[in-house]
Structure 1
């Protein structure tokens, strides 16, 4: 059994922190008649574990309320991966602003006739549901995500007909479009929209904008494009 002074040396924790963890019920040292604390190797292991978890950004409350360290690590890993993706978006925005938009892959396209898209509609807060409904029927190499802003709705669709009774049809107008390739997958779509709209000399026309998904072959990632109707 080890007294608290030696535990400070073995863990790198302050005496105050060790006593605080004891008060929170995270370690339970033995006590001599003179009230000196004695720590076993399991206490040392637990204190070092707590120190590592705190360094990973896991809160003391989470450590207290979650018995499984594995669950804590899985949860924190999910958070870190989301944080990394958010930082990647920030990095892209910084690079984009540094280059004045030159780093974006953009082009202009002109459609001589409109295109009909058939699909399923969801609210803007439940967009994945529209795609889940479309997925079993998807027969084309590309699909479209259309924001129906006036209805605060979203359509996931394709050029082939859909079979469900809730199916909906929209028309993508003929005319000129500014097209940008999305770098970074679906999470990067909002950032790419913002970057496009920040470009100089872009004047929108009154028509639907949309995302175009060109589906990869043999497990390859989809190519995502944003199409803005412009004058």
Structure 2
């Protein structure tokens, strides 16, 4: 798995939150994508933020950058803190995300920092597909 280190400025993500079982995550993406379509928004990237996880229960937000989601009803907003992230492209689609995170966490020479990890979905305007990256916070 090829990795890179990316340092970002803080940015805000707004979307639809879940505090519950992992199995409910796809439903939040359905709500987000329906609202994006309804409002005619062009978002070239979206984010799946894992804010906390305990056993099979997750606090997760499926969202887009906040300035694009101004008119969305009943959303959660979170700041992705500035800092470094170890980033890798996910091969194998959504089912491969957990394995990609596990592989990143085993990378020699990294020190995790206190922050949440996330998925970044890249879907440039004019394309029908998307790429997935996993982002792990590091010192």
Q: Which category of TM-score, normalised to the shorter sequence, fits these structures?
A: 0.7 to 0.9
Alignment partners' CA distance in 1, 2:59 and 2:122: 22
Q: Does 1:153 align with 2:59?
A: yes
Counting only pairs closer than 5 Å after superposition, residues 1-231 of structure 1 correspond to structure 2 as 104-111=1-8, 113-122=9-18, 123=20, 124-138=22-36, 139=41, 140-149=43-52, 152-159=58-65, 160-216=68-124, 217-219=126-128, 221-231=129-139
Stretches of structure 2 lacking an aligned partner (at least 5 in a row)? none
Hey, which of these two has a bigger chunk of helix by percent?
Answer: 1
SS at match of 1:121: strand
Measured against aligned partners, the alpha-carbon deviations of 1:115-157 in whole angstroms (never above 9, x if no partner) come to 1000001233310111011002332111000012168311000
Hey, which of these two has a bigger chunk of strand by percent?
Answer: 2
SS at match of 2:46: strand
Shift of 1:162: 4.9
Alignment partners' CA distance in 2, 1:218 and 1:125: 28
Stretches of structure 1 lacking an aligned partner (at least 5 in a row)? 1-103
**8 Å CA contact retained: 1:147, 1:153:** yes
Bigger Cα Rg: 1
TM-score, normalization by structure 1: 0.51
Moved over 4 A (4+): none
Count of paired positions: 126
**8 Å CA contact retained: 1:137, 1:162:** no
Alignment partners' CA distance in 2, 1:162 and 1:105: 35
Greater RCO structure (CA 8 Å; 6+ sep): 2
